Amino acid sequence: MTTQTPSKPAREPGLLTQAIAAFGQGLIDVVSTLGGIVSMGVDVFRWSVRRPYRLANLFAQLDFVGVGSIFIVALTGTFTGMVFALQTSTAFQLFDAESLVGPTVALTLTRELAAVFSALMVTMRAGSAMCTELGTMRVTEQVDALETMAVNPVQYLLVPRVLAGLFMVPALTMLFNTMGMAGAYVVAVGGLGISPGTFLARTQQWMVPGDVFQGLIKGAVFGLAVALICCFKGFNASGGAKGVGQATTEAMVASALSIFILDFLLGVLFF
């Protein structure tokens, strides 16, 4: 007969160990998600240059992401320009520098706010829809159905959405700039009595085309990032309606964070 020594009971991990484990797990999750997004980005690029070019799908997404966001971006741009003109004029009046309202609003919009706000609007309006639609298609096996019909889902579903983000966010950024400056002009000239000539001349004096291009490049990077994140989260959703909801929440948070982080990194790069 053999005797068995009783095994030692497993020790509860301490608080510090648990905290380190949780931090490590979080880090692994972030790195694996980033890796997944980059890998999907490479796949999207590879399939975007291969036939058949799905132009109908691309135009449908350009319409949805771009044309569909015109109203909300124009409205946000107008009010942003108006409130910015109002606040800066209050500050500049303190030292008789109201003539700088135009260039201040222009530089802030073109270099920073237009791209960031346009990308946030597209995230909320189109990114959430992309993620939910793809997630629902995944959990109801519509993505599998595409594959079984010998249609590549990356090419059919993801390429048009990612390209739409890449092309339309810069276009919306330009619209934001235009509407923002129009709003600022109305408030500064119409409401605060700044002379139209001063407003326009000072803006032209301080602004260079590079400021606008910087914003447009930012818009393209944000659009690409947001579309990739929303597509990645939706495409890999699982667990029914709850899973799709969770994927959409994660996509919104990750998209918003990525816009601000990328904005800082690009700001450093362009400074």
Partner 1 sequence: MVSPASSPAAARPMIQVVDLHKTFGDHKVLTGINLTVPAGSTCVILGGSGSGKTVLMKHMIGLLKPDRGQVIIDGEDIVPMGVEALQQVRNKFGMVFQAAALFDSMTVFENVAFPLREHTKDPEDVIRQKVRARLELMGLKKDVEGRFPADLSGGMRKRVGLARAIVMDPKVVLYDEPTTGLDPITTDSVDEMILAAQRELGVTSVVISHDISSAFNVADQIAFLSKGVIVANGTPEQLRESEHPAVKVFLETWFGKN
Q: Which residues bind partner 1 (CB under 8 A)?
A: 136-137, 140-142, 144-145, 147-152
Write the DSSP symbol of residue 32. Answer: H
- Whichever of 68 and 178 has its CB closer to partner 1, that residue is 68
Q: How far is the CB of 145 from partner 1 (least distance, A)?
A: 4
- Whichever of 63 and 147 has its CB closer to partner 1, that residue is 147
- Whichever of 19 and 241 has its CB closer to partner 1, that residue is 241
Cα distance between residue 158 and residue 194, in whole Å: 49
- Whichever of 133 and 211 has its CB closer to partner 1, that residue is 133
Q: How far is the CB of 21 from partner 1 (least distance, A)?
A: 19
Q: How far is the CB of 8 from partner 1 (least distance, A)?
A: 24
Cα distance between residue 170 and residue 152, in whole Å: 28
Q: How far is the CB of 140 from partner 1 (least distance, A)?
A: 6
Q: How far is the CB of 152 from partner 1 (least distance, A)?
A: 7
- Whichever of 100 and 126 has its CB closer to partner 1, that residue is 126
The token duo for 267 is 């700001």
Contacts of the segment 44-53: beta carbons below 8 A, 24+ positions apart: 44/154, 44/158, 44/159, 44/162, 44/228, 44/231, 47/152, 47/154, 47/155, 47/158, 47/159, 48/155, 48/159, 48/162, 48/163, 50/155
- Whichever of 150 and 268 has its CB closer to partner 1, that residue is 150
Cα distance between residue 123 and residue 68, in whole Å: 13
Angle between helices 159-185 and 70-93 (to 10 degrees): 40
One-letter amino acid at 109 equals: L
Q: How far is the CB of 149 from partner 1 (least distance, A)?
A: 5
CA 91 to chain CA centroid, Å, is 31
